[in-house]
């Protein structure tokens, strides 16, 4: 069910300084997402998918234009406000995992719940549920260096979804997964989407992910081709 608009993007341009000039990674992008979407940004490498997800996730700021996420203009948030938006409402699956290397699998997945000050018994229940979603309950005590690339990716997925955020931003979440694990995780995400109305926005090249999407948004050279 798609109801109220939760992300509004108007005239979004992103320039990165390069040498004495700049590189335009996003060019006048206009987009809207409703609650409960299962949408994907599709486009060749370098087309701006990660840049756009980072800006929606308030990890980066627009050069020009307006990005409203859950009623807040992310250009005008101070660092505390953007941290609080990420902490409470967003889950981010990074293209490069960003796991904490000295933490165990359990501790990595528990981390977002510590920020929310949840009691230990509740945290444990939520961590184990998230590890079940990604099939890693046997690896709770392992550290990232002891895991395969695909296992690290599944820990990153569990960490992003453990608090059942309103919006999950997933950057190439299946890049290192075999077909069986990809389908299992996509089915889990589709279930959360249906049962909790969680909004998912993917960046992906993966045909398996694309086949699950309810909406496909195509980027080319930083511009929207279709939405
Ligand atoms: N910090 C930066 N400084 C300069 N250029 C950057 C920076 N970050 C990204 N870019 C450039 O912006 C463009 C878009 O990058 P982005 O990471 O968004 O692409 P992508 O669509 O996610 O690609 P991929 O499919 O390879 O992950 C690329 O050409 C990239 O080189
Ligand atoms: Mg990318």
- Stated pTM of the model: 0.94
- Report how far residue 42's alpha carbon sits from residue 57's, in angstroms, rounded to the nearest whole number: 18
Neighbours of 59 (CB within 10 A): 16
Q: Is 15 helix (H, G, I), strand (E, B) or coil?
A: strand
- Domain residue ranges in the chain: 5-226
CA of 203 to the centre of ligand 2 (A): 7
CATH code for the part of the protein at 5-226: 3.40.50.300
Residue with CA nearest ligand 1 atom 4:
16
- Which residue is it, tokens 């608090």? 163
Residue in 15, 19, 23, 170 to alter for ligand 1 test, most ligand atoms within 8 A of Cβ: 23
pLDDT band at 3 (very low <50, low <70, confident <90, very high): low
- Report how far residue 99's alpha carbon sits from residue 83's, in angstroms, rounded to the nearest whole number: 18
- What would the pLDDT profile of 142-194 be if each residue is shown by its tens digit? 999 999 999 999 999 999 999 999 999 999 999 989 999 899 999 999 999 99
Sorted by sequence, the CB contacts under 8 Å of residue 31 that are 6+ apart come out as: 7, 8, 9, 12, 217, 224, 227
Mean pLDDT over 195-215 rounds to 95
């Amino acid at each position: 069910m798609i109801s109220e608009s939760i992300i509004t993007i108007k005239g979004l341009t992103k320039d990165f300084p390069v040498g004495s000039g700049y590189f335009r990674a996003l060019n006048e992008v206009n987009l809207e997402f409703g609650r409960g979407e299962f949408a994907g940004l599709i486009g060749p490498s370098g087309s701006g998918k990660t840049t756009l997800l980072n800006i929606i996730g308030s990890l980066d700021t627009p050069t020009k234009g307006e990005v409203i996420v859950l009623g807040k203009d992310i250009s005008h948030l101070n660092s505390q406000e953007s941290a609080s938006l990420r902490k409470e409402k967003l889950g981010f699956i990074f293209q490069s995992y960003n796991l904490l290397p000295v933490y165990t699998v359990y501790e990595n997945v528990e981390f977002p719940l510590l920020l929310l000050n949840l009691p230990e018994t509740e945290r444990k229940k939520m961590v184990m549920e998230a590890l079940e979603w990604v099939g890693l309950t046997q690896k709770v005590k392992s550290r990232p260096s002891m895991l395969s690339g695909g296992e690290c990716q599944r820990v990153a997925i569990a960490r992003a979804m453990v608090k059942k955020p309103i919006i999950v931003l997933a950057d190439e979440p299946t890049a290192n997964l075999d077909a069986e694990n990809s389908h299992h995780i996509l089915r889990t995400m589709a279930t959360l989407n249906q049962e909790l109305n969680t909004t998912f926005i993917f960046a992906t090249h993966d045909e398996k992910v694309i086949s699950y999407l309810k909406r496909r948004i195509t980027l080319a050279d930083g511009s929207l081709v279709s939405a």
